[in-house]
Structure 1
Amino acid sequence: MRPSYTIFKLDTNGSSLKNLDNIRGEGGGGILRDSLGKMVYAFTIPLGVGTNNQAEILATIHGLQWFVEHGYNRIILEVDSELLTIWIAQNIKPLWKLQHHIKTLLTLTDYLEFFQ
């Protein structure tokens, strides 16, 4: 769904490739659109080695950082990770090794006038 006027929508996704028990490649991407559906910014980023949850979080952080750095302050974030949604809502704490990433993400939302 398109956001209302003056609100932007950021869709992000992260992925890691698994080969047996070794996670070998991690990457993320996203797209920012305005209320008319016009693309404002799109990205793909390599993220090194890690878990799928890490990739989801880091892709979201990258998108939010760009958003904030470029003076935007009203956003709807859409992700396909139910865990990330729960962590953002602070309903449960993430694993200790992911807590600093979630803290960074939540700190970015403090700069926003509207975040959903």
Structure 2
Amino acid sequence: MTFTVLSEKIEKCLIEQMNETAKHKNLKKNLYTEWDSKMKLSFPNLIIPPLFGKGSQDVVINPRLNVKWEPPEQGWYKINFDGASAGNPSPSGIGCIVRDSKGKCLKEIAENIGVETNNEVEFRAAYQSLQLGTDLGWRNIHLEGDSLNVINAIQNKQTPSWHLNRWLRPILALLERLDDF
């Protein structure tokens, strides 16, 4: 499974959750059918982030980072994880993809997880990704994600908010089972 297919699965999960929420709030049926329309509804002033942001007086253009996936070293597995929440809190989804040193997709997860906060979603995605790797018996895992809160919490062994400790403690326990990460 490619990263694009995984992203599409996560989007589909989020759209299903948003439609379910809309149904319970008596909103228009299938209001959220495309990612862009959903984002525009949630953030009416959004202009293709992260390229543009309001500065003190002018629009500031923030350059996009040129990011490219790199395979892990021979004998290692790379798990890329992400969480997405349409609001804070709101319907959410998580996903991960596991690849070997040749870039071959070995396993993936895409899952609706109900209503969560944006930070809890990222921590849960990291936890479930590590759980997947350790359940398969892997001890050389490179964990990669885009959440600085998760990365900093793992490195510093503390979270920015006490309620996230329910995810950090099991993440750290799983990391103890690895040879390195």
Is the 2:78–2:98 contact (alpha carbons within 8 Å) kept by the matching residues of 1? yes
Larger relative helix fraction: 2
TM-fit CA distance, 1:66: 1.1
Match of 1:12 among 81, 85, 90: 81
TM-fit CA distance, 1:94: 2.7
TM-fit CA distance, 1:50: 1.3
Q: What letter corresponds to residue 33 of structure 1 in structure 2?
A: R
TM-fit CA distance, 1:93: 3.1
Question: 1:1-116 counterparts in 2 under 5 A?
Answer: 1-18=70-87, 23-90=89-156, 92-115=158-181
Q: What letter corresponds to residue 76 of structure 2 in structure 1?
A: I
Identity %: 32
Which structure has the higher relative contact order (CA within 8 Å, separation 6+)? 1
Residues in 2 aligned to 1:75 and 1:50: alpha-carbon distance in whole angstroms: 27
Is the 1:45–1:59 contact (alpha carbons within 8 Å) kept by the matching residues of 2? no
Residues in 2 aligned to 1:93 and 1:30: alpha-carbon distance in whole angstroms: 22
Residues in 2 aligned to 1:108 and 1:75: alpha-carbon distance in whole angstroms: 11
Deviation >6 Å, runs of 4+: none
Q: Give unmatched runs, 5+ long, in structure 2.
A: 1-69
TM-fit CA distance, 1:92: 4.6
Residues in 2 aligned to 1:53 and 1:93: alpha-carbon distance in whole angstroms: 10
Residues in 2 aligned to 1:94 and 1:105: alpha-carbon distance in whole angstroms: 15
Please, what TM-score do these two structures have when normalized by structure 2?
0.59
Residues in 1 aligned to 2:157 and 2:129: alpha-carbon distance in whole angstroms: 23
Q: What letter corresponds to residue 112 of structure 2 in structure 1?
A: P
Is the 2:90–2:117 contact (alpha carbons within 8 Å) kept by the matching residues of 1? no
Deviations 1:49-79 (A, max 9, x none): 1111111110111111111011111011110
Residues in 2 aligned to 1:107 and 1:94: alpha-carbon distance in whole angstroms: 19
Larger relative strand fraction: 1
